[in-house]
Amino acid sequence: MTGFRPCIIVTAGKMYYDKRKSFSGYPEKKQKSREERIEYIMASEFLSDLAAGLEPYVPGEQPKDKKYIKLNTNENPYPPSAEVIRAIEEETANLRLYPDPDATAVRTAAAEYYNDTLNLAGTDRLTEDNIFVGNGSDEVLAFLFPTFFKGKKIAFADITYSFYPVYAALFEVSYDLLPLKEDFSLDMEQYCGGLAGDIRGILICNPNAPTGRALPLADVERILDANSGRLVVVDEAYVDFGAETAAGVVNRHENLVVTQTLSKSRQLAGMRVGIAIASAPLIAGLNAVKNSFNSYTADRLAIAAAAAAFRDREYFETTKRKIMETRELVTKEFRKLGFDVLPSAANFLFVEPVGISAADLFGKLRERGILVRYFPKPRIDRRLRITVGTQEEMDALMASVREILKEC
């Protein structure tokens, strides 16, 4: 057994590092019954303590066994626009060459999109210097940690995007969890004057995941003003589905970074493009860190696709509207069944079933070929997060839910 140490054990999806055991033998104490689905993984003794102790983020399942109606990872049910496909095809001729390390085409297209759609004028107008491009907004979020938070303490909600604590662990950033209120809304009093003095940064997901609840821009600005000495990150992965973006006020607030993705409202989850929008000095800091790590985080096809997606506003508006309409219809359907549905400004619903537990409904839907997301965590384990798909997919979902409830 030399050369390896038993250190990572997966218990029903939870990973931990058994620091007491090293280099030989199976960790008997941690050994549980087969039913508890413990997997034993051999890990190299050469791993750093940091790597060996990580609890990586677990993304929603991308199944390979059969075709499912996939309502578990908040992907867009519609294909990318024809303009995007054309841009990708044209760019393939240039793949011999490295991409533009500054992803200028995306920065120009994103700035133009916001200047036009938010009618930005004067110093509010965005330029390329206000935009940073990364390999998905997950990577953009990751870059924020060494750029702004290294050695500092930050704060975020107890129920929010579960990647935040994972980045905090990877980049050795400490954090406080701020409990959401009973109705999953954020406690404005706490965020405006009630935070511990040593907190240097705040992460807010707006609309929040997995709840779908949105914070109005006026409240975001109140938080920014009340925390002028703290960097505030607003993760707007789902903002296009009905919330207000803070992209138009980044030049008014030196402490604001907005992150967005092209994975949801712009159909490019498979391309991996995300952006940060902020005042120029903050973007310069992000670029310094990125260029100390990998000059080419966005590849040629991703740059071409993302720029075209920002330019094709008609397709973006049409598909976004369809998803929002479907969301409202499905909300009504669930409510007719007595389910509690949180008001959603995102492309997913966070529902609490009646007559069946969330865990059972999750399993029975899966058996019928429909994947949704269940988080077995305190406060949210009675709910399912369900991505809004096409109307046909949602009709199939509702038909299955009704069938399952009849059987209960």
Smallest distance, Å, CB 152 to ligand PMP?
21
Tell me whether residue 128 or residue 139 sits nearer to ligand PMP (CB atom).
139
> What is the distance between the alpha carbons of residues 216 and 200, in angstroms, rounded to a whole number?
23
Considering only 274, 285, 353, 389, the residue that binds ligand PMP (CB under 6 A) is: 274
SS3 labels along 70-102: ECCCCCCCCCCCHHHHHHHHHHHHHCCCCCCCC
Q: Check binding of 269 to ligand PMP (CB under 6 A).
A: yes
Smallest distance, Å, CB 269 to ligand PMP?
6
Query: Residue 7 half-sphere exposure, CB side, CA atoms within 13 Å?
Result: 21
Considering only 114, 132, 148, 161, the residue that binds ligand PMP (CB under 6 A) is: 161
Q: Check binding of 75 to ligand PMP (CB under 6 A).
A: no
Tell me whether residue 147 or residue 251 sits nearer to ligand PMP (CB atom).
147
Q: Check binding of 237 to ligand PMP (CB under 6 A).
A: yes
Question: What six digits make up the tokens of 287?
Answer: 């670029």
Q: What angle do CA 174, 170, 387 make, to 5 degrees?
A: 95
Q: Phi/psi of residue 291, each to 5°?
A: -75, -5
Q: What angle do CA 142, 128, 115 make, to 5 degrees?
A: 110
Q: Check binding of 138 to ligand PMP (CB under 6 A).
A: yes
Contact 392, 370 (CB under 8 A): no
In three-state secondary structure terms, 144 is: helix
Q: Check binding of 77 to ligand PMP (CB under 6 A).
A: no
Tell me whether residue 8 or residue 301 sits nearer to ligand PMP (CB atom).
301
Near ligand PMP by CB under 6 A, which window of 136-144, 242-250, 290-298, 363-371? 136-144
Q: How many CB atoms lie within 10 A of CB 370?
A: 22
Question: What six digits make up the tokens of 398?
Answer: 């509702």
Near ligand PMP by CB under 6 A, which window of 62-70, 90-98, 131-139, 243-251? 131-139
Contact 138, 209 (CB under 8 A): no
Using CB under 6 A as the binding criterion, the count of chain residues that bind ligand PMP stands at 12
Binding mask 201-220 for ligand PMP (x = CB under 6 A): ----x---x-----------
Positions 245 through 264 that interact with ligand PMP (CB under 6 A): 261, 263
Near ligand PMP by CB under 6 A, which window of 132-140, 214-222, 334-342, 353-361? 132-140
Q: Check binding of 136 to ligand PMP (CB under 6 A).
A: yes
Residue 408 CB contacts under 8 Å (≥ 6 apart), including other chains: 355, 356
Q: Phi/psi of residue 60, each to 5°?
A: -60, 150
Tell me whether residue 134 or residue 146 sits nearer to ligand PMP (CB atom).
134
Positions 346 through 405 that interact with ligand PMP (CB under 6 A): none
DSSP string, 159-186: SS-THHHHHHHHTT-EEEEEPPPTTS--
DSSP state of 147: I
Q: Check binding of 310 to ligand PMP (CB under 6 A).
A: no
Give residues in contact with ligand PMP (CB under 6 A): 136-138, 161, 205, 209, 235, 237, 261, 263, 269, 274
